[in-house]
Amino acid sequence: MKNFILTLLVFAALPIWGQIQLDNQFEDWSAIPHSTNTDGGPFVAAAVTSNADWLYLHIEVDQEVALDENALPNDYRILLDLDDDPSTGVDYASQGLGVDLLINLATRQAIRYTNGSGIESFNEIGMRAAPTYSGNEFELAFDRELTQVAGDGVRVKWYDNADQVGFPEAGLQHTLLDAPDSFAPVSIARPPGTLNRVAFWNVNNRMDELFAQQAMKRILQAVDPDILALSEVSNVSAAYVTGLLNDWLPLEGNATWNVIKDDWDLMVASKGAILASFPSVTRQFPALVEGHPGWGVPLLITSSHLKCCGGSSNEAQRQAEADEYMAFLRDAMNGEGELALAPNSPFVYGGDLNMVGLDDPIYTLVSGDISDETTYGPDFNPDWDGTALTEQPLLQTDHGFDFTWMSSNINSEWMPGKLDYLITSDASVELMAGFVVRTEEMSEERLSELGLEADDALDASDHFLVVGDLGIGDLLGSAPDTDEDGVNDYEDNCANAENPGQADFNGDGIGDACSDVDGDGLSDALEINVYGTDPLDADSDGDGVNDGLELCVCSALDLCPGDLTNDAVVSVADLLLLLGLFGATC
């Protein structure tokens, strides 16, 4: 269920003619023929497609697994017959294919049987996958050159070594397509309606390294963010980073960047004032920032660096951190914590979430479903409109993949993956545009135009910069006002009864127009303003007759005192009708 919800909460830009984007969004696979399983086993459906550079696989399984992790283990293998020729390679597990390359997901190893032998890393064969966390649906890509796709066609089979079941029975035969990748490079110009550009970056503790600084400078000058949330800056001070930003991105009128650091490795830097910060939230650093005047209220920007990586204790800590932040946000929205957010305040959460292993932390951060309610309190709907937040599926500027981290070591057992995220309140914030800066894939012309070099992204960090252009969402500045009394519902002490003056004689938070403290059937407002009776005494004159029976207006049928709508029930509708008569002359 949670995987289904996560899929619904994000948008996807559908590719041209079925071109696949590796982004944990599966709508683009709908045009690709699938083999479906009706005979049991873990595999539900599978498909394969390609372009001139990449071979793509799609798989659905019958239960949640962590594809290449041991958090929710599996013993799945991918059998790749790279020339669709059973006479080459090996007939692995008597599955009837000439397997040239075996992918062992459980051990994160590729075993080559043709044109070489032995074990290779997933990086050496150019393998990518999404998502990086657990689920029951995945998409994978293989670099055709590194994988050594040899002929005009391939045959692919999924194999569960635990149950010794292969799917589909004859494998998926695919005639390779040579159409070029149709992904159009994303403009980094700010679109109309953008109020602020925010960027999140894990800088890998390289901000004091001259070589990395030159790459960082070029990237930040090309992107020019208004607000920058940093992680892995434990080795530099806020003053040091302020100096760098003032040099790299000087502000008009000799103004200075504002930079604040938490107690370890997180920072928030802003062109505008930083009004408050909250370092007590574990491995997450919320800060209230003065953004563009068009917002009308400050922005809540949270820089995050959740616990890495696998293992049960790390999984538990990462989940606890997600729970803790959502408790902070819930209390801030309710005005009950160390921060009281103004209604509909824009907020953006992002950074290095280390989302590997279980999908539970990202589910919590989007849905408000807190895992440990005993410690962190109840679940809640975390957006101002009563819905979930939105995890934005951002792609690299020049390639249709979403990964934000990759190792410079080709022998690393870990594939590139999406570790860095941007999560927004879409009720108060509209994402006008967003992208991930990976310079390696940019053309020479584009690099020259932006003042960048091809190696800049990986010279600066092993994480890529994540950028979002923020505009005003639907609710900001237009909070609902159900009773149309000029006071929005979030501040109205009687949201369903017109009371622009917000009178509350006893200060109990419930307006007199909708409060009946003594329970006599008359609102406090009626007793105070119309009848002059005591709102604290159900029988103000002590004659034994309830004030409501003695003084209220009767219905036309005279059968039910106070029933002005003649529906045999004294309800809010009658109160609203009475309020509408105030000021009338008879």
- Sheet architecture: strand order including 54-65: 35-36, 43-50, 54-65, 135-143, 127-130
Residues in CB range of 144: below 8 A, 6 or more apart: 50, 52, 53, 54, 55, 176
pLDDT values of the chain reduced to their tens digit, one per residue, 586 residues:
444 344 333 333 333 334 799 999 999 999 999 999 988 889 999 999 999 999 999 999 999 999 888 888 899 999 999 999 999 999 999 999 999 999 999 999 999 999 887 899 999 999 999 999 999 999 999 999 999 998 899 999 999 999 999 999 999 999 999 999 889 999 999 999 999 999 999 999 999 999 999 999 999 999 999 999 999 999 999 999 999 999 999 999 999 999 999 999 999 999 999 999 999 999 999 999 999 999 999 999 999 999 998 889 999 999 999 999 999 999 999 999 999 999 999 999 999 999 999 999 999 999 999 999 999 999 999 999 999 999 999 999 999 999 999 998 888 889 999 999 999 999 999 999 999 999 999 999 999 999 999 999 999 999 999 999 999 998 765 555 678 887 766 568 888 888 999 999 898 889 989 988 888 888 888 888 877 898 888 888 888 778 777 665 544 444 566 666 666 777 776 776 666 556 554 4
Element (H, E) at 222: helix 210-223
Are 450 and 188 a contacting pair, CB within 8 Å?
A: yes
Separation of alpha carbons 205 and 231, rounded Å: 8
**Hey, where are the domains in the chain?**
2-175, 196-472, 480-586
CB proximity list for 51: less than 8 A, separation 6 or greater: 19, 20, 177, 178, 179, 180, 181, 182
CB 60 within 8 A of CB 37: no
Tell me what pLDDT residue 12 has. Answer: 33
**Sequence letter at residue 376:** Y
Q: Regarding the domain with residue range 196-472, which homologous superfamily does it belong to in the CATH classification?
A: Endonuclease/exonuclease/phosphatase (3.60.10.10)
Q: Which of 493, 469, 473 is nearest to 483 (CA)?
A: 493
Residue 196 has which token pair? 């602020």
Is-contact 426 389, C-beta < 8 A? yes
| CA distances for 520 relative to 127, 177, 494, 545, angstroms | 73, 79, 19, 10
Smallest CA-to-CA distance from 3 within 138, 135, 140 is with 135
Check residue 187 and report its DSSP letter: P
Predicted local confidence at residue 1, as pLDDT: 42
DSSP 534-549: -TT-SSTT-SSS-HHH
The one-letter amino acid at 154: V
Sheet of 284-289: strands edge to edge?
Answer: 274-277, 284-289, 299-305, 347-352, 420-424, 390-391
- Note the pTM of the prediction, 2 decimals: 0.79
